[in-house]
């Protein structure tokens, strides 16, 4: 990763660290994912948030949260979520799974947005699809994204792929991303490095925090 980070043109993007992915009653656990690795990444994301806030970075949080009438859910995900027994929109202890405004879509307290930070609901997987994220970043002069969150091989990867194609430079924070599947987590990170690093650079939480502190 670069030694320094341009505070004026870089944003921290925290993906889907919501109760539906982190709690035993949420979507992910009901879909059969191992949520322990997802929970374990929260402290590193909290460190990134603290460093980004101290450096004055733009911070964006996303939630995988679909329209209550399911009209914006990708059809492939409607099908998939029915197969696992954790259908999008079905009822659970945290409200309807992965639906906007339900308790399960709330970002976990330890990494919750503070005033002035952006929080967006996204249908599907890439945070750029079906949202105003691109326009929000353009309006703020953002050219580089620091990505973290869950899950590495699904929403982090889909968001990273779109960001790269849309002209952003990207830094994915290995130990601030997590998946229920260790081998797919590792593979998703390895894919960033192919052909010289087609999907940008990777870094550790320590390295990003140090670079942000260096200014």
Binding footprint of its own copies on the chain (CB under 8 A): 31-33, 74-77, 79-84, 86, 123-126, 129-130, 151, 153-154, 157-158, 161-162, 164-170, 181, 183-184, 187-188, 190-191, 194-200
Q: Is 146 helix (H, G, I), strand (E, B) or coil?
A: strand
Has 155 been annotated as catalytic? yes
Outline where the chain has alpha helix (H): 19-22, 27-30, 36-40, 42-55, 75-84, 133-139, 157-165, 182-192, 205-214
Q: Nearest to residue 66, comparing CAs of 32, 17, 104?
A: 104
For residue 165, the minimal CB distance to its own copies (Å) is: 4
Active-site residue, selected from the candidate residues 148, 155, 177, 209 = 155
Has 209 been annotated as catalytic? no
For residue 77, the minimal CB distance to its own copies (Å) is: 5
Closest to its own copies by CB, 55 vs 80, is 80
Closest to its own copies by CB, 112 vs 120, is 120
Has 16 been annotated as catalytic? yes
Alpha carbons 42 and 30: distance in angstroms, whole number: 20
What is the set of active-site residues?
16, 122, 155
């Amino acid at each position: 990763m670069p030694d320094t980070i341009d505070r004026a043109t870089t944003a921290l993007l925290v993906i889907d660290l919501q109760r539906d992915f982190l709690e035993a009653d949420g979507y992910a656990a009901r879909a059969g994912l191992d949520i322990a690795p997802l929970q374990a990444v929260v402290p590193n994301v909290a460190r990134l948030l603290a460093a980004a806030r101290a450096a004055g970075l733009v911070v964006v949080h996303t939630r995988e949260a679909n329209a209550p009438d399911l009209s914006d859910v990708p059809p492939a995900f409607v099908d998939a979520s029915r197969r696992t027994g954790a259908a999008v929109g079905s009822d659970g202890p945290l409200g309807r799974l992965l639906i906007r405004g339900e308790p399960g879509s709330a970002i976990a307290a330890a990494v919750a947005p503070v005033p002035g930070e952006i929080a967006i609901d996204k249908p599907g997987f890439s945070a750029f699809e079906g949202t105003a994220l691109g326009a929000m970043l353009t309006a703020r002069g953002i050219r580089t994204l620091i990505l973290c969150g869950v899950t590495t091989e699904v929403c982090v990867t889909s968001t990273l792929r779109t960001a790269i194609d849309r002209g952003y430079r990207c830094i994915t924070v290995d130990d601030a991303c997590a998946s229920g599947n260790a081998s797919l987590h590792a593979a998703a990170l390895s894919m960033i490095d192919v052909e010289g690093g087609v999907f940008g650079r990777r870094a550790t939480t320590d390295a990003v925090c140090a670079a942000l502190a260096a200014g």
